[in-house]
Structure 1
């Protein structure tokens, strides 16, 4: 060939390439239908929890060939496009064969469509005309150029019709067989390979004979192509066809709906799919036995990373679509551990401090215990274990309800008080609205030595650093006390379950028996249970220990044994680790005194004085105290300061609580308002 001819051929080829490129830019394929897919929410392993239909009711799930049985993909190529991957989108040999057969026999014997051409038709359906066929051919080449072989295959198995409103192999496998497409057997794969040829005429629930004949033809072709042995194909032909389309999975429906509303098409959660299925079954069985309209909400959390392993927003989604894990309800006594934790952290209370459980008036309020009785003198540990009301109010009076509410909010909990109402002493008995998700978050913080982190619902999300509510000694003192709580009915020991797991748990009952709670922590897990009526109506006699705690222990028994171990104490000589309290903490004072009952020479804060507004200067706020037994230790908003500190630098404006503690544990308190002048 001469140089001139070579240049001419090269010019023609270049013009052709440029022409194809220009045509591709000017007339790109419309991929809107491919991109319009059902949102899916998956468990931590990628197994489907809940898909969402498109606006027109179509179930179109993204189908990844890597997660589809290879046998199905091989059958698909054998039936639809034997040279797929070897042609540019159109198969000249197949088109020539189809044309010759049509001319010689006077009818269409075989089609020449490739998977790329079928994809073009699925993306832009048109009437079957010669012009439409030519357009499909051009689009097929264009799609092959744009998407490549792997992209065309993925798009086809996502858009292929399988009867009714089901599109894509993943949706079809779930709807017809209830399994993911990776687990398709020979008979199932053959049926799905046949269905797209005529999805309505071959529907097995409506036309079983036609569906069986089509399936068996695919099996015969598979034998001829060496994909199956004859005996395997014969056994597959004997398998029954599906007689109905199943509902697609509906696990963790409340959580899935909330996460999907954020707009992502695919969300992988932290949920353990197998555990979720069992927990939902338990919830349905329990709620079905209640004839008063009661519901329940459950959360199971792995303390490591705060991963939510199981989430139940109500006993049955079809009956109650409100996510009750996020409903604001009265927490009853479930906040008492945090009242004691703050007092322990301040060293204003020791687990062995004696408290008198006797009637006491707080202004116009005269709280009573749940059993309407008084129980005399006992330790703080026992008062917490028995969830007695009067001791808890006494301790909250020392800690301060405003401070407790402020600290709980600072670590991320939502507290709902009536409009214009300030936190007050009834907070100890449930005088606030709280959500199950927040209570579980707080209790998981106790399990991690007082460090509170948000719960994680999405797999792979970065673990927040968290915020300290109390220090390690205080958190461990509360957990140890709660491990000795009285067991619920039917549980031999609250400390141990069948798996030998130590469980620290607390129950709560709101006023009028409206809410029954139980929250429990072990080394590896935190579980929360709420039982009540969504409308807030009373359920007389249904209290936390009887209605919620047994469910808590049932859930713990579904979990594997704990593997974690608590680290050695960071401060082994801390007073809270001693069995006996310091002399100054031997007994809790009555109301109106800002320290425990005392020995002589207790400390006194000279500056800043209690109840004042103090401006922070450049060096901070001066700290001065006298009296007590050296050394004196300053604690500001629950955080100990350095031993030799003389000035405290606040972070900003607001209220702060300053405590000075002497060597015997005696203390003085000053609550001030800080103005930084910034």
Structure 2
């Protein structure tokens, strides 16, 4: 009885050999005759998910393909090399040597077919499996196998081994609508496939063979058994020590599918709309910071009232790069209108524009930090501002007025510098305030009587970390080539004065103890709460309110937004940057040391009433008499110019330095003088009526 069985075995072997020869011959014939006329549809490789990356190429957000599949592009250097070795050893260990079809594997498959009367293994190479993924066929037939073989030979003629492997690992199925090892690794393990554990690699090797029957979330036990079979094969082949196999077999198999990365949804969605042809978009955002600040927004949502939301923008004030942007407490939170990006919504900024008013007043030498100013009831042609607490503090210093965000002093100064001039300076920072329809800019804009977005507000505040010049904010969502702003929002000395004052604003109760300067604001009717802060480099802005602009009783910048500002700075994880030293020529003076004209600020109507003819003589308020001014020098060795600020007098003004008049008179009260050398100098200013004022100063180069 044994001899007939041996004869039958030889017949089966012969049949297998004939089958192999037929398949190989037909494949080679088809390849030679039809390769050019009927190439493989490799363009499917371009049909991948669109993805938005952060500044370090980390995945912020991905989108399914048109067929609702997660198929993320991947390169071999983005995949754990141990996983690749395990995949090749398990699926196609002669992958690097064959030409797309492995004759040995086909012979084994043919033998198993004729020996068992059914298909035991397909003998498919990785290249043949890629061919099946490119042109799916439901049936498992000789004709389908022949087609795969032809396609595999074609693919190998057009692509190298690494390209084939990368494309296979982009298209291979891993259960549900997951295709590609990168999507699978993120969905099952919550991590990129750059560094996988042994157990994770084995599971990802096993899944493509039967992705639905081995889905970890639905067929958990089958997934575990399949993974362990891969591990056992690696042990039997002597590729992995038994001790490591035992540890990997004891590891848990994931029982649920994780969400894909979903960070910076508003910015990512805008980027896709603005760059419709881009498959991969890189933003300036920092994924780690974005994640931490989004978590802060989520944590805060539970403490906010019904329908309230928040927005945050963090920027590198020196480069203009936006490092994090949170448009709401959650873009899917319909109750809070989370789909609206509140970083771009135009709202009343409350008191957050006051620092720019004070900056202009410093420029014009109207005030010094220790100048006294009245915080008392005032009527500005029918406009009667009141403080937030509806009380008045009487006479206060300029420093106190800004730190306490007093309204009347701010309006007094805005009346002096002019609303139109404030708007012009804000335009230099790339921000156009939205005024009421048909309304001319008035004093109310200093207290929030205009509209601005959080992003524009943060952009304006970058001036305080750049010597008065704002930076264009960019996040990469919009392709634009805006030039840097050429003109400063305010002069460096004025910018430093304002920042120095804001560093003294007390932190909210219970806030992290960090060294930042900041300003808060609350819009009329308790609709918007703001806080914008900065250190020596980074600027963070926070908005809290309702997207529908409804009032929120009790809402305020100091109570609602400022705590988030401090917590947000603490969560960035970046080392704080110290504030810069004072610019050359800055002089710190107590109230008693101030020139008489700067000891008490008098509004225009107050000043006129003190002089019978309404004309004050000129006065040099900076530099003060006897000042020692350190100017420093330029790269070419020349001394930097000295800024001279005047009060009173009648234009035009002519400067006389050390007895030599400057050639051109000017109508400005701010003059620049370029000293020839260091040492003692006498500066005289003569106004249009022949009145003069003089000071003696010492120019220092240190």
Contact 1:453–1:464 (8 Å) recurs in 2: no
Q: Give 3-state SS (helix, strand or coil) of 2:310's partner.
A: strand
Equivalent residue number for residue 101 of structure 2: 90
Q: Give 3-state SS (helix, strand or coil) of 2:120's partner.
A: coil
For the pair 1:210 / 2:228, whether they are aligned, the reply is: no
Q: 1:105 to 1:46 in 2, by over 3 A?
A: same
Tell me how far apart the structure 1 counterparts of residues 686 and 504 of structure 2 sit (CA, whole Å): 28
The equivalent position to 1:199 in structure 2, one of 211, 232, 236, is 211
Equivalent residue number for residue 566 of structure 2: 553
Contact 2:653–2:665 (8 Å) recurs in 1: no
Equivalent residue number for residue 248 of structure 2: 236
Equivalent residue number for residue 470 of structure 1: 490
Q: 1:584 to 1:479 in 2, by over 3 A?
A: same
For the pair 1:484 / 2:504, whether they are aligned, the reply is: yes
Tell me how far apart the structure 2 counterparts of residues 418 and 291 of structure 1 sit (CA, whole Å): 29
Q: 1:588 to 1:29 in 2, by over 3 A?
A: farther
Equivalent residue number for residue 321 of structure 1: 339
Equivalent residue number for residue 91 of structure 2: 80
Q: 1:665 to 1:270 in 2, by over 3 A?
A: farther
Matches within 5 A, 1:511-522: 511-522=524-535
CA deviation after TM superposition for structure 1 residue 517, in Å? 0.7
Equivalent residue number for residue 221 of structure 1: 233
Contact 1:72–1:190 (8 Å) recurs in 2: yes
Q: Give 3-state SS (helix, strand or coil) of 1:481's partner.
A: helix
CA deviation after TM superposition for structure 1 residue 180, in Å? 1.6
CA deviation after TM superposition for structure 1 residue 535, in Å? 1.0
Tell me how far apart the structure 2 counterparts of residues 21 and 402 of structure 1 sit (CA, whole Å): 79
Contact 1:602–1:629 (8 Å) recurs in 2: no
The equivalent position to 1:507 in structure 2, one of 507, 520, 534, is 520
Tell me how far apart the structure 2 counterparts of residues 79 and 96 of structure 1 sit (CA, whole Å): 18
Tell me how far apart the structure 2 counterparts of residues 336 and 286 of structure 1 sit (CA, whole Å): 28
Tell me how far apart the structure 2 counterparts of residues 327 and 558 of structure 1 sit (CA, whole Å): 25
Contact 2:49–2:63 (8 Å) recurs in 1: yes
Contact 1:386–1:486 (8 Å) recurs in 2: no
Q: Deviations over 1:446-481 (max 9, x none)?
A: 122112112232499999644421121011000001
Equivalent residue number for residue 546 of structure 2: 533
Tell me how far apart the structure 2 counterparts of residues 391 and 165 of structure 1 sit (CA, whole Å): 63
Q: 1:466 to 1:221 in 2, by over 3 A?
A: farther
Equivalent residue number for residue 284 of structure 1: 298
Structure 2 runs not aligned, ≥5 long: 1-26, 621-648, 673-682, 689-702
Contact 2:653–2:687 (8 Å) recurs in 1: no
Equivalent residue number for residue 654 of structure 1: none
CA deviation after TM superposition for structure 1 residue 202, in Å? 1.6
Q: Give 3-state SS (helix, strand or coil) of 2:414's partner.
A: helix
Q: Give 3-state SS (helix, strand or coil) of 2:373's partner.
A: strand
Contact 1:302–1:526 (8 Å) recurs in 2: yes
Tell me how far apart the structure 1 counterparts of residues 154 and 265 of structure 2 sit (CA, whole Å): 40
CA deviation after TM superposition for structure 1 residue 426, in Å? 0.7
CA deviation after TM superposition for structure 1 residue 379, in Å? 2.3
Structure 1 runs not aligned, ≥5 long: 1-15, 492-496, 605-624, 634-642, 649-656, 669-678
| Bigger Rg over Cα | 2
The equivalent position to 1:270 in structure 2, one of 279, 284, 302, is 284
Equivalent residue number for residue 413 of structure 1: 431
Equivalent residue number for residue 408 of structure 2: 390
Matches within 5 A, 1:327-346: 327-346=345-364
For the pair 1:449 / 2:467, whether they are aligned, the reply is: yes
Matches within 5 A, 1:21-100: 25-100=36-111
Higher mean displacement: 68-77 or 454-463? 454-463
CA deviation after TM superposition for structure 1 residue 443, in Å? 1.3
Higher mean displacement: 392-401 or 120-129? 120-129
Q: Give 3-state SS (helix, strand or coil) of 1:531's partner.
A: strand
Q: 1:440 to 1:645 in 2, by over 3 A?
A: farther
Q: 1:227 to 1:595 in 2, by over 3 A?
A: farther
Q: 1:146 to 1:400 in 2, by over 3 A?
A: farther
For the pair 1:361 / 2:374, whether they are aligned, the reply is: no
Q: Deviations over 1:82-130 (max 9, x none)?
A: 1112222222332233223323443323222111121121112134343
Equivalent residue number for residue 611 of structure 1: none
The equivalent position to 1:153 in structure 2, one of 159, 162, 165, is 165
For the pair 1:171 / 2:183, whether they are aligned, the reply is: yes
CA deviation after TM superposition for structure 1 residue 545, in Å? 0.8
CA deviation after TM superposition for structure 1 residue 254, in Å? 2.1
Tell me how far apart the structure 2 counterparts of residues 632 and 343 of structure 1 sit (CA, whole Å): 25
Count of residue pairs the alignment pairs up: 608
For the pair 1:631 / 2:655, whether they are aligned, the reply is: yes
Q: Deviations over 1:233-257 (max 9, x none)?
A: 1222222322221111222222222
For the pair 1:427 / 2:438, whether they are aligned, the reply is: no
Tell me how far apart the structure 2 counterparts of residues 27 and 597 of structure 1 sit (CA, whole Å): 97
Tell me how far apart the structure 2 counterparts of residues 504 and 566 of structure 1 sit (CA, whole Å): 9
Equivalent residue number for residue 617 of structure 2: 601
Tell me how far apart the structure 1 counterparts of residues 364 and 257 of structure 2 sit (CA, whole Å): 62
TM-score normalised by L of structure 2: 0.79
Q: 1:595 to 1:299 in 2, by over 3 A?
A: farther
Tell me how far apart the structure 2 counterparts of residues 489 and 438 of structure 1 sit (CA, whole Å): 28
CA deviation after TM superposition for structure 1 residue 525, in Å? 2.1
Higher mean displacement: 171-180 or 223-232? 223-232
Q: Give 3-state SS (helix, strand or coil) of 1:438's partner.
A: helix
Tell me how far apart the structure 2 counterparts of residues 576 and 596 of structure 1 sit (CA, whole Å): 31
